[in-house]
Structure 1
Amino acid sequence: MAPVRSVPRIFRLGSWVEARRIAAILRQETIGGTLLLAAALLGMIWANTPWSAGYQALRDFRVGPSALHLDLSLATWAADGLLAIFFFVAGLELKREFVAGDLRDPRRAVVPVAAALGGVAVPAILYLLVAGGSGDGAARGWAVPTATDIAFALAVLAVVGRHLPAALRTFMLTLAVVDDLIAIMIIAVFYTSELAVLPLLGAAVPLAVFALLVQRGNRSWWLLLPLAAATWFLIHESGVHATVAGVLLAFMVPVRPRGRGAGAAGRVTGAHAAAVSGLAEHFEHRFRPISAGVAVPVFAFLSAGVTVGGLSGLTGSLAEPVALGIVVGLVAGKAIGITVATWLVARFTRTSLEEGLGWADTVALGTLGGIGFTVSLLIGDLAFGAGSARAEQATVGVLAGSVGAALAATVLLRLRDRAHRRLQEAQEADEDHDGIPDAYQ
């Protein structure tokens, strides 16, 4: 008799180790999302008070060695320097997911990757339909609504979706991280105006030494930090946006410790290798609080301060094609792109949703993906030039679109949270004395 093959599932339950790790990340990102929102509000309020000149003076204050072409404004330091830390953490998370996490199985990885691609393509198309024909370089902003903000989105998910299945939380985190990787590729390819080849080639030297040291398990900050700084500086000098250095450095860091192969990993909690920690986990533990608690909030504070001129000015800014295209891309494009891409995966791979889940869950998460704050603000400045009229319109669009997506997602997630509450209570009641729910065993 032939063995019965299990039906492939979308959003199926992962391992208990992975669920605990995702829960820990959610707790940290919830705090980071709160700080992000507070910092953005503070910057926007200050920029619209009689003391707005002080805010602009702070943003434009220049610091750094001019001999190295690093006499940059604080706003530029935040965008080029602090966000490199953010992308370093995102790169570490992405590598951990695909090397040692539940998504090392291609059948599990295809769903969030496809959803991320759909969540990039559809918002870009909608933006171009709305704003692409308005002229004056408006089409350059096509990538602004393609990003999902990890901290902001996960903060909303943690607050209003406490009873949602862990698989949905893992999906949202992975989608946001893949989304950020796509965004950094877009920045490197489409928003690099001038490329200096020699500094770019030169960056390979400190990057290679950094890779050699971390592959050997070296954690000495006095060795690794100067090499990371040199890599960042040379990429900055090449004309490629310096945040790319954060992702490249993260990809060099090993996920598993030396001397432990797949066999050792397979003995940890079933066949799950995420319990085997490497240097990536060490760096992520050290740098995630800096990223969520300092780097991203400071960038938001220095980027969100756009003068809107009261309610009438805000309404006028939102009527501009650039702002309107971004709002449509974030609120509608993300939800459509993520949901349709997930449905296509289910349709053409003959998979189905995990028992107890519905397509309404996917729509809710897709809407949540429309919170495109941090990276969207960065791309807006790169597309139109920081401080330009178009850049300010893009900032207004990002703020309005992100708030709109957050409010819509809150309503949808609250409805789905109630639907999953009874199932969650049943799983908790089924917990054994070992502290691990039976569903994970």
Structure 2
Amino acid sequence: MTDNRNRLFTRGSWLETSRTAEILRAETTGGILLIVGAVIAVVLANSPWREAYEAVRDFRIGPAALHLDLSIGAWAADGLLAIFFFVAGLELKREFVAGDLRDPRRAALPIAAAVGGMVVPAAVYVAVNLLDDGSLSGWAVPVATDIAFAVAILAVISTHLPAGLRTFLLTLAVVDDLLGIIIIAVFFTSELHIGILLLALVPIALFGVLVQRRVRSPWLLIPLALIAWALVHASGVHATVAGVLLGFTVPVLRKNPESKRGYAEHLEHLTRPISAGVAVPIFAFFAAGVSLGGWKGIAGSVTDPVALGIIAGLVLGKPIGIAGSTWLLSTFTKASLDDDLAWSDVIGMAMLAGIGFTVSLLIGELAFHDQPAVHDHMKVGVLFGSVLAALLATVVLRARNQVYKRIEQLETLDVNKDGVPDVFEDDPGRDR
């Protein structure tokens, strides 16, 4: 018999499967709000209210003495997205400390897929822009996956996607977010103030001490988080890095075995609705607004090498990188695809990961903030690439929907008194 640990996209533990379902429900709602915010932004930017929309987005507020004299759009990108990355930090730590991915063999797939899904789109973007004398500054724009947007598309498709694939999409996106924030920190820090950055470690360390002691007072934690965020912002490093670092300090394992949730899961439960339902949709509203200029303007934008590189990176690079990495892993290791799945399932999920939206727009803002014309073309590329990736993924996953239903029917067995399906009864990690 083949060891399930060598199976790609196999079912995780009952704890992981049920928790993934809960997270995906929250992300589905957030994804729908994100799409609504983006659509409203595009409509306003191409309507008689365009100047009012841009005036609000560009209105500056905040204390200049603290380097916080920012536009409202910048507050959304630097401030609200820090909440998004705080949740990403919590989720990533939980996955590798107490999730199914603490097993290196399970962790190998999403890490390899995320790296492939980052390297190949970047290479595709560079190739397109080298051929057409475009700007190489946006090489990192198509490397990200927007989990909220992707999950919202899954909800619209109403697919019976197997739990293993759903978990893979979620974990891939978390690792992808981490790689994205590393890219932001390393490649888009124009002026680094080491002293201020080291000073930022003080409130982060104090925050860590408090959460390690399971202190839950928002009157202590929130001020420390805000101070850490402000100092990281003043250091020249993108302020969202503070969110990830703070998330990494939170303990995952339950101190009291009878507790329903560990502390990391508790904070995630509190902050994920704010991230998915408020922070990301507001960021989308201020970041997605681009004047298309009618059909001529659209044609001019999508033929720009920057937009073409982003579209090609998201639509072609992402699926090639993710599916290709998965194929290499199955070919050159002992891992093999789960018996109930086909490679078309993997390709469909890889296409869905081509929805780059949130982090792609954030990186694009940093890459082209001083090039207004190219900046707008970047936005068009992200919007068109993400929508095209979503449409292609929908076609593939719709075609597989009947297969997913059949798999679900085969795996749905009686549920015992403890509420755990029989198929998970022999899972040693079910009570973790």
TM-score (norm 1): 0.93
For the pair 1:97 / 2:95, whether they are aligned, the reply is yes
Deviation, structure 1 residue 133: 5.0
- Matched position secondary structure for 1:356: coil
Q: Which of 382, 386, 396 lines up with 1:402 in the alignment?
A: 386
User: For residues 155-174 of structure 1, what are the structure 2 equivalents within 5 Å?
Assistant: 155-174=152-171
Give the structure 2 partner of residue 218 of structure 1.
215
In structure 2, which of residues 121, 124, 130 is the aligned counterpart of residue 123 of structure 1? 121
Whole-Å Cα distance in 2 between the matches of residues 99 and 167 of structure 1?
A: 19
1:175 aligns with 2:172: yes
1:256 aligns with 2:253: yes
Query: Secondary structure at 1:50's aligned position in 2?
Result: coil
Identity %: 59
In structure 2, the CA distance between the partners of 1:36 and 1:5, relative to structure 1 (3 Å rule), is closer
User: Does the CA contact (< 8 Å) of 1:323 and 1:393 recur in 2?
Assistant: yes
Provide the residue aligned with 1:106 in structure 2.
Answer: 104
Secondary structure at the residue paired with 2:400?
Answer: helix
Match of 1:14 among 12, 15, 36: 12
Of 242, 246, 249 in structure 1, the residue corresponding to residue 243 of structure 2 is 246
CA RMSD for the aligned pairs? Answer: 1.6
How far residue 132 of structure 1 moved from its aligned partner, in angstroms, is: 3.5
Shift of the alpha carbon at 1:276?
Answer: 6.7
CA 1:5/1:153 → structure 2, altered by over 3 Å: closer, same or farther? closer
Q: Is the 8 A contact 1:161 1:413 kept in 2?
A: no
Deviation string for 1:274-325 (max 9, x for gaps)? x973211111011100000110000000011111111221121000000000
Q: Which residue of 2 aligns with 1:348?
A: 332
Distance change in 2, residues 1:437/1:167 (3 Å)? same
Matches within 5 A, 1:36-435: 36-132=34-130, 134-135=132-133, 138-258=135-255, 277-385=261-369, 388-432=372-416, 434-435=418-419
SS class of match (1:98): helix
Deviation readout 1:25-75 (Å, 9 max, x if unpaired):
111111101100000010110010122100110001111122212121000
Q: Within 1, Cα distance between the matches of 2:62 and 2:354? A: 36
Q: In the alignment, residue 337 of structure 2 is paired with which amino acid?
A: L
Report which stretch shifted further, 125-134 or 41-50.
Answer: 125-134
- CA deviations 1:132-170 (Å, max 9, x no partner) are 45446x101000000000100111123325311101000
Structure 1 counterpart of 2:190, one-letter code: S
Give 1:384's aligned amino acid.
Answer: F
Could you tell me which runs of 5 or more consecutive residues in structure 2 were left unpaired when the two chains were aligned. 426-432
Query: What is the rounded CA distance, in whole Å, between the counterparts of 1:402 and 1:386 in structure 2?
Result: 24
The 8 Å contact of residues 211 and 252 in structure 1, kept in 2 or not, is answered as yes
Q: Distance in 2 between matches of 1:179 and 1:135?
A: 29
1:90 and 1:247 in contact (8 A); partners too:
yes
C-alpha displacement of 1:14: 0.7
Q: Which moved more, 1:182-191 or 1:355-364?
A: 355-364
Structure 1 Cα separation of the partners of residues 297 and 212 of structure 2: 54
1:118 counterpart SS class: helix
Match of 2:429 in 1: none
CA contact (8 A) 1:13 1:440 kept: no
Give the Cα separation in 1 of the matches to 2:253 and 2:16.
Answer: 15
Tell me by how many angstroms 1:436 deviates: 2.5
The alpha-carbon deviation at position 414 of structure 1 amounts to 1.1
Moved more, 77-86 or 406-415: 406-415
Q: What is the letter of the counterpart of residue 367 of structure 1?
A: M
Farther-moved stretch of structure 1 (45-54 vs 250-259): 250-259
Cα 1:124–1:20 change in 2 (3 A) is same
Secondary structure of the equivalent of 2:290? Answer: coil
State the match for 2:430 in structure 1: none
Mapped to 2, the partners of 1:124 and 1:112 lie a distance apart of 18
**Shift of the alpha carbon at 1:352?**
0.9
Where 1:203 maps in the other structure, the secondary structure is helix
Q: Any idea what the Cα deviations from partners look like across 1:172-207, whole Å, max 9, x if unmatched?
A: 000001000000000000011111111101001111
User: Does the 8 Å contact 1:427/1:437 carry over to 2?
Assistant: no
TM-score normalised according to structure 2 size: 0.95
